[in-house]
């Protein structure tokens, strides 16, 4: 079947149909995507499925400008829906699987979605939803319409119409999980996403031989652009777990796929370091003491790095980390372990990447320099620290917030600068060092700027600490700390102590010790007045950032 898509310019066209057509032309017979354990479909087969779904849309009278939502776990058909929707000029609305029924209903209503594709495990979340605009609920596994028998999806169906898509047409509305509690619909154009993916692709060599293992939700812009659009441009193959990436499933998938490229959030690699690497080193007094000496620490980290590479399948060339700040100690380990990690920084509003460093260019604590095609500046920097708000400009900067011109005006200047809300500084080589969210920054009693993330970084490197949040309460700097209670209980069993409340006693002692530890390492106005134990893990966003607004 000949393609019916008409491109607007013969030159590089930053739209999904144009880029995909080029990929099919170059890599049609190459593997495109699959669930782990299944045979991948090729780009030619993916092209056939996309066209069949467009023909299905024509029967349902879904056309340019209509909104189509996806509420699904990662799978090849997620990509089929995404591309079919954007190829006809309709707008895709990806919804994070962990959103509540209330949030999903708000998104479907606010976006005025005409159809929603749902995976079986999430179908119950929309069973009782009220939406005036929603006409079709479709199972993403087989494209069967709920309560509809007359219209059927057919893989052999032919596209009847031609479709014209422009670079500046809206491609997606992304509802942010956010850490502030307010979910906004970020409007991204074809150019926003495609330009970002094209530029980001230059950070690391990628081709049709690469294998991506996707473990983050495709509905988040980070995984969507970097782990979904980039491999399509390069003709690479993407493998999906199909389920929540629990350790046993992930280890099995790594062994089978032997990925060359992965994207992750810090929490995953931090857990591996704290639960696997450190206990091995601290398990023997000799290695524990040697680890305190830089020369031996580097040697031990190098040995651990080789084992870590084997765990990841042995063929990894790029492990991208983003979505939240990476723990300093863990980054030092990755660097000394010669693990192929890379750091990136961005926002949903920038589709998402605005800065990044490749495997051999990383600098400790830095998110790297500006991406090609993106201009960064530090607005109104502090004269002493040179820290100020990051402003960004480029083709990847969003169109605005859907139906919210007031909030759009708050973050987009008249001349196109996006105010990121992040505080950072730049070194002489233009490498960016993000310090804090502007909203998170605490102003001390004498006007000093206190960056809670810097204090949390110290706390999180303390023994038995899993995570922490530093907030201001009634004029006091308070640290809320979640300890590894399982680890403490194991220690209790090992010592065969039979003292009631042993763990609680240990926590109280740790809190006192922690306060002394932190206050001896920070300036006077950043010292903690109170340290309290958090009983349950902190609630998090899709990229595992703590929802700070719940604890302030």
Instruction: Say how far apart CA 546 and CA 323 lie, in whole Å.
Output: 11
Longest distance between any two alpha carbons in the chain, whole Å: 77
Confidence grade of residue 11 (pLDDT, cut at 50, 70, 90): very low
10 has a pLDDT exceeding 80:
no
SS3 157: coil
- Is there a contact between 341 and 333 (Cβ–Cβ < 8 Å)? no
pLDDT digits (tens, 9 = 90+) for 425-437: 999 999 999 998 8
Instruction: Give percent of the chain with pLDDT exceeding 70.
Output: 94
The string of pLDDT tens digits covering residues 449-462 is: 888 988 998 999 99
Interval 217-224 mean pLDDT? 95
Q: What is the pLDDT of residue 344?
A: 96
Q: How many CA atoms lie within 13 A of 327 on its CB side?
A: 23
- By CB atoms closer than 10 A (0-12, 13-18, 19+), residue 48 is middle
User: Strand locations in 266-386, DSSP E?
Assistant: 318-321, 341-346, 353-357, 374-379
Whether the per-residue pLDDT at 515 is higher than 70: the answer is yes
Give me the chain's average pLDDT, please: 91
Confidence of residue 12 (pLDDT cuts 50, 70, 90): low
The third-level CATH classification (topology) of the domain covering 261-314+316-437 is Rossmann fold (3.40.50)
What is the per-residue pLDDT for 141?
97
Residue 140's nearest CA partner among 88, 92, 102 is: 92
3 pLDDT above the threshold of 50: no
Number of H helices, E strands in the chain: 17, 26
% of the chain at pLDDT higher than 90? 77
Q: What does the pLDDT read at residue 493?
A: 62
Q: Concatenated DSSP letters for 56-67?
A: HHHHHT--TT-E
In whole angstroms, what is the distance from residue 247 CA to residue 239 CA?
Answer: 17
Q: What is the pLDDT of residue 7?
A: 34
Residue showing tokens 């692709």: 201
Q: Domain 5-240 is in which class? A: alpha beta
Task: List the chain domain ranges.
Answer: 5-240, 261-314+316-437, 464-550
CA–CA distance, 473 with 451 (Å, rounded to integer): 15
Burial class (CB in 10 A: 0-12, 13-18, 19+), 428: exposed
pLDDT tens profile 381-417: 999 999 999 999 999 999 999 999 999 999 999 999 9
Mean pLDDT of 87-116: 94
Which contiguous run of DSSP H or E holds residue 336? Answer: helix 328-336
Residue 280 pLDDT > 50, yes or no? yes
User: Does 322 sit behind a cis peptide bond, omega within 30 degrees of 0 on the bond before it?
Assistant: no
Quick one: residue 313, left, alpha or beta (phi over 0 = left, psi -120 to 50 = alpha)? left
What Å distances lie between residue 87 and 20, 34, 80, 92, CA to CA? 9, 21, 10, 10
- CA distances 150 to 56, 60, 143, Å, are 12, 11, 13
CA distance 369 to 386: 16
Q: Which two tokens stand for residue 156?
A: 């052999």
- Phi then psi dihedrals of residue 378, to 5 deg: -95, 110
User: Residue range 309-317: average pLDDT?
Assistant: 97
What pLDDT score was predicted for residue 114? 97
**Measured distance CA(141)–CA(119) in Å, rounded:** 7
pLDDT digits (tens, 9 = 90+) for 130-175: 999 999 999 999 999 998 778 999 999 999 999 999 999 999 999 9
Q: Do domains 5-240 and 261-314+316-437 have the same CATH topology?
A: yes
The sign one gets for the Cα dihedral 426, 432, 438, 443 is negative
* Superfamily of domain 464-550 in the CATH hierarchy: ANL, C-terminal domain (3.30.300.30)
pLDDT of res. 177: 58
CA distance 513 to 462: 10
Q: Looking at the predicted structure, is the pLDDT value of residue 499 above 60?
A: no
pLDDT in tens, 173-184: 999 854 444 568
Instruction: Answer whether residue 195 shows pLDDT above 70.
Output: yes
Distance in angstroms between the alpha carbons of the first and the last residue of the chain: 58
């Amino acid at each position: 079947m000949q393609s019916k898509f008409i491109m607007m310019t013969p030159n590089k066209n930053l739209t999904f149909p144009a880029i995909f057509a080029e990929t099919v032309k170059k890599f049609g017979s190459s593997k495109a995507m699959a669930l782990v354990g299944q045979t991948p479909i090729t780009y030619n087969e993916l092209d056939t499925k996309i066209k069949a779904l467009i023909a299905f849309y024509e029967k349902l009278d879904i056309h340019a400008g209509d909104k189509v939502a996806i509420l699904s776990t990662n799978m090849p058909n997620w990509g089929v829906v995404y591309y079919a929707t954007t190829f006809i000029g309709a707008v895709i609305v990806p919804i994070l699987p962990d959103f509540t029924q209330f949030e999903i209903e708000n998104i479907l209503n606010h976006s005025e979605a005409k159809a929603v594709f749902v995976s079986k495990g999430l179908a119950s979340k929309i069973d009782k939803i009220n939406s005036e605009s929603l006409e079709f609920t479709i199972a993403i596994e087989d494209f069967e319409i709920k309560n509809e028998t007359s219209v059927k999806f057919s893989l052999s169906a032919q596209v009847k119409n031609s479709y014209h898509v422009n670079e500046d047409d809206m491609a997606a509305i992304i509802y942010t999980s956010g850490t502030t509690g307010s979910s906004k619909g970020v409007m991204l154009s074809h150019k926003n996403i495609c330009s970002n993916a094209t530029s980001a692709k230059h950070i690391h060599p990628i081709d049709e031989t690469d294998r991506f293992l996707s473990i983050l939700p495709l509905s988040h812009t980070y995984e969507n652009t970097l782990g979904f659009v980039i491999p399509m441009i390069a003709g690479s193959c993407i493998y999906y777990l199909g389920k929540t990436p629990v350790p046993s499933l992930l280890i099995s998938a790594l062994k089978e796929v032997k990925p060359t490229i992965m994207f992750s959030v810090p929490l995953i690699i931090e857990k591996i370091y704290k639960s696997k690497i450190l206990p091995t080193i601290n398990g023997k007094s000799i290695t524990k003491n040697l680890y305190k000496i830089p020369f031996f620490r580097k040697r031990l980290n190098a040995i651990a790095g080789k084992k870590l590479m084997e765990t990841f399948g042995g063929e990894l060339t790029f492990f991208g980390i983003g979505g939240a700040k990476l723990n300093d100690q863990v980054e030092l380990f990755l660097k000394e372990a010669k693990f192929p990690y890379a750091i990136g920084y961005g926002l949903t509003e920038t589709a998402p990447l605005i800065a990044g460093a490749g495997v051999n260019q990383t600098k400790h604590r830095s998110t790297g320099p500006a991406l090609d095609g993106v201009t960064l500046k530090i607005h109104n920097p502090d004269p002493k620290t040179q820290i100020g708000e990051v402003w960004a400009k480029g083709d990847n900067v969003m169109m605005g917030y859907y139906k919210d011109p007031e909030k759009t005006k708050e973050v987009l200047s008249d001349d196109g600068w996006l105010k990121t809300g992040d505080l950072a500084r730049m070194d002489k080589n233009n490498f960016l060092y993000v310090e804090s969210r502007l909203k998170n920054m605490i102003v001390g009693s004498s006007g000093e700027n206190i960056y809670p993330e810097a204090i949390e970084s110290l706390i999180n490197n303390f023994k038995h600490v899993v995570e922490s949040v530093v907030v201001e309460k009634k004029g006091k700097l308070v640290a809320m700390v979640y300890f590894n209670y399982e680890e403490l209980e194991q220690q209790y069993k090992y010592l065969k102590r039979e003292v009631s409340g042993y763990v609680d006693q240990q926590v109280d002692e740790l809190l006192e010790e922690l306060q002394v530890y932190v206050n001896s390492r920070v300036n006077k106005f950043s010292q903690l007045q109170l340290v309290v134990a958090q009983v349950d893990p902190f609630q998090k966003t899709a990229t595992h950032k703590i929802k700070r607004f719940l604890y302030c």
